[in-house]
Structures are given as C-alpha cells and as structure tokens.
Amino acid sequence: MNDLSSATPPAGIAERPESVWQLRWQRLRQNRAALAGALVLAILVLFVLAAPLYEWAYGLDVNDTDLLNRFRPPSARHLLGTDDAGRDVMARLMYGGRISLLVGLVGAVSAALIGTLIGLVAGYYRGRVEANLMRLTDGMISLPLLPLLIVFAAIDLQKLGFSEEFVRSPAANLYRIVLIIALVQWTTVARLVRASTLGLMRREFVLAARTQGAGALHILRVHVLPNAASPIIVALSLSVGEIILLESTLSFLGLGIQPPTASWGNMLNNAQELISRAPELAFYPGFLIFTTVIAVNFLGDGLQDAFDPRGDSAH
C-alpha cells in the first residue's frame, strides 16, 4: 500500500503553506509595490548608515563651515555641492536621514507600545475601565494635531527641572520629539488592539485558560497579544511615514530638531529662504522625505493586504 502522506501533489496544484505566517509572507512577496517600497527603504537605510564612511573617504565633517565655499556646485570634493554655510550637502543629508528615520521608527514603536497597552487593558477589563480609556482615546483623536504638537514642542524643559546642559544638547531635542509624537500617535493602535482583544476574549482557548485559573497577565501575554500582532504590525508600518512628516513639519517650523544637528525637516526649513539662490537645497531633503513616506506607505499597504484575515480564511 502506498503511503498517502508522502505522495506528491498533482502537477499544477501548488503546495499549501505550512502556517498562516508563511501564507502572509507568500502574499507579501506577490505585491510588487510593497517589495519596491521595502527595497527603497533598505537603500535609504544603507545611505544614512554610510555617513561616517563618506566623511572619512572625503575628509569632511558634517558641521564644518567654510564661508569662502558657500553654494558651491557639485564636484569631486562635494558630490552635491555646499550649502549657505559651506557645509557638504551630501553629508548633511546622510546624517539628517539618520535623525528623521530614527524619529520615525522609534516614535512609531513607542506609540505602538502605548497603544497596545491601553488597547489590551480596555479589551480585557471592559466596564468602567474600558469606557474611561476609550473616552481618553476619543478625546486625543478629537484634538487638533498640529497645534497640539506646537504647544508641546514649545515647552521649556528647564522649567520642568532639566539642566541647561541637557536642554542644549542634541539628544534633548530628539527625546522631546519622540516623546511628543508617542503621546499623540498611539490612538489608532489602541483602538485596533482593543477590537482584537474583544474578539479574542470570546475564543475557546482564552475561555479555557480562564477556567483553569490563568491570570490576566498570562492570558494577555500568551493568548491575546500574539494573536493581535497583525493589526499592530500594520498600524506601526503605516505610522512611520506619518511620523516622519510630523517631525519634518515641526523642524520646518523651527520647533523640532535644532541646528547644527541636521534633519531633513530643518534642512528644508533652512532652504526656504534660499529658493531663488539655490533651489536644490530644498529639493534634496524634500525629495528624500517624499520618497521615504511613499515607500513606507507602499510597504504598509502590502502588509495590510498580507495580514488581511479574509485572505487567511480564503485559504
């Protein structure tokens, strides 16, 4: 008797993926726009990580000024020319990208952590706890985002007890922007995680765990959170581009990352007064911001399609 378990499937019938995650990866690979977005993001990451190597190869320093070499055109010494202070534009784009991408990634992860915690608690405990947390979420959503960010960014850290040395350091601006963005961007993740938790709490494996006396932390960590990972991943990927735009907006308004530390946003802000003299200084950071946000959105849309539960059930 032939072993049916080892029989190969008939020709023309694709072998089914072994798990839901393999199915999602298969669908993601079939999305050319998502793969193109991921490739562009990988190139951008390599571009910004190569900043110290570029400085070493050309004997430059990103913050060195040379007023005798302002607005120089591209050359073998300065691949994209120099800005109004004689600084190398390529080096500043590379280091500025580090800041912008770091703010986007860390801000998105921080906001996702806050939103996940609030969503899990609201979906598990229900009742008054859920009502209060969801009213807080609705209140944050109803607030005008940009004015709120401007108010938070204008707060004097010294009056909050921080030392003047820390306030004037580049790290202070970075921490401030990440914290501000995390405090206002968690609402989408919170609502998605709450909805997923409400559905999972009615599933048989969760009811069985509660019957066996499992505590809230165990149920949320072992049974709920892994099964709610899909909307968290999708929301996190889609929020990175939005956060990069928020950082760029704040820096463009002079409330974000402060010079001499470069970010794409403050480079764009500095270039607005030089449009007639050197329009390329505005084009370079603007193009990189645009490219990054488009690539992130393509990847996020691809992840959304790949993690669509209707696609899982269809297979």
pLDDT, one tens digit per residue, over 214-269 is 788 888 888 888 888 878 888 888 788 888 888 878 877 777 777 778 888 888 88
Query: Cβ–Cβ contacts within 10 Å for residue 18, how many?
Result: 8
User: What are 82's strand-pairing partners?
Assistant: 88
Residue 135 burial class via C-beta count within 10 angstroms: exposed 0-12, middle 13-18, buried 19 and up: exposed
Full-model pTM = 0.79
The second-level CATH assignment, the architecture, of 22-60+80-314 is Orthogonal Bundle (1.10)
What was the pLDDT predicted at 16?
56
State yes or no: pLDDT of 312 exceeds 60. Answer: no
**What is d(CA 167, CA 175) in angstroms, rounded to the nearest whole number?**
10
> Which residues, 6 or more positions from 271, have their beta carbon under 8 angstroms from its beta carbon?
83, 278, 281, 282, 285
**What is d(CA 295, CA 49) in angstroms, rounded to the nearest whole number?**
18
Residues 221-259 as b/e (b if ≥16 CB within 10 A, e otherwise) read eebbbeebebbbbbbbbbbbbbbbbbbbbbbbbebbbee
What was the pLDDT predicted at 278?
86
What was the pLDDT predicted at 262?
85
**Ramachandran sector of residue 257 (left: φ over 0; alpha: ψ -120 to 50; beta: rest):** beta
The rounded mean pLDDT for the chain is 83
